[in-house]
Structure formats: structure tokens, C-alpha cells
A and B are shown apart, each in its own frame.
Chain A
């Protein structure tokens, strides 16, 4: 079974530029998450989708971050304009249902803002 796919794996951009990360969850998984992991910290949930609807985006900085999950399959997370403090690993994860307990993580997209 293929895992959660993310791209690009690494990205370096200058502050005020924009960046987009893509995620393809495990086939058939209805729930998709984006987490932000800053160096030295645990991952923090940014947004949760159930199919193509948003379940929780309370911790998403909406002035600069946006995410969509068209057709309820893959998802894109965008940052515009980027700030230095956005340097982090962006982890995508998926889960078969909202009641399922096991979340499967991708390898992450590493962002450095200079």
C-alpha cells in the first residue's frame, strides 16, 4: 500500500515569497491533515479536512496560509507571503475516518525562509 506522498521535499525561499506544498493521502482515506513542525517542537495541527470539507482550521494563520482539498483527494497548502518564522517541516497525514485513531504521516516538506 502506498503511503502519504508529499512534494517538494525541500524548499528554500526568500521572505515575502510564496510557496505551495502538495499532498496525496493514502488511497481511500477520507481525513487529511496538515501539521507544522518547527525545529525542536512537536507537530502542531494547521488544518483538518474530511473529504473536501474543512473540519478544523482554528490554528491556521489565515492571513498568509491557505489550504484546499479539491475533489476530496489530494491537497495543497500555500503560504503567501512567507515569513522567517514559517521555516518548518510541513507534515501531511491521513486517516481512514474521523473516528479512526491511526494517523499515517508523510515524510514532510522542509521549508527554509531566508
Chain B
């Protein structure tokens, strides 16, 4: 069974950079990696998507190494409002695997 795993939880102080890694050893050639943020009792919210190397948008960066067996979401300077659960999603034409989720707690 293909697994997409993440650390269960992370803590960070306000203003710090946070890196969350997702392991997806069985990634297929056509799979993309997408990261989502989820607050309690809400649907996931899109953060960033990539295929390989580095992608950056106004809120985050996504690093995917050449072998694509992992990906790292980088949040540059977290604030208290970034406290949430972060999920990676590996998806292709015929498959879809959510990661186990990482609960990020930002501390004042």
C-alpha cells in the first residue's frame, strides 16, 4: 500500500521559518505534489503545487528533489494564524494519496 507520511506534529515560534517534509517513496512519474492547510472543521485550503525542483508563491515554497521521493513545504515566517494541520497530497491521473498530516503549532 503506497504511503505518504509526514511528521505528526511540529512547534515553532512566531517569525521563524518552518519546513515540513512529506515522504512519498512510491511516487509515480505523472504524480504531482500539492500541499494544503486545514483548520478545524473546515475544508483544506490550497497552498502550493509542484512536480519537481522548486516552486515559490506569495505564501510558501515547495522543494522537490530530483528523485521526487519526498517534498518539503517551507513557510518563510510563520505567525500565530498559521497554526493548523498541513497535508501533502500525491495525485496523478489514476491515484490520489493524502499524507498523514502535520499539526503545526506556532508559539508566541
Q: Do A and B make up one complex?
A: no
Binding site for B on A (CB under 8 A): none
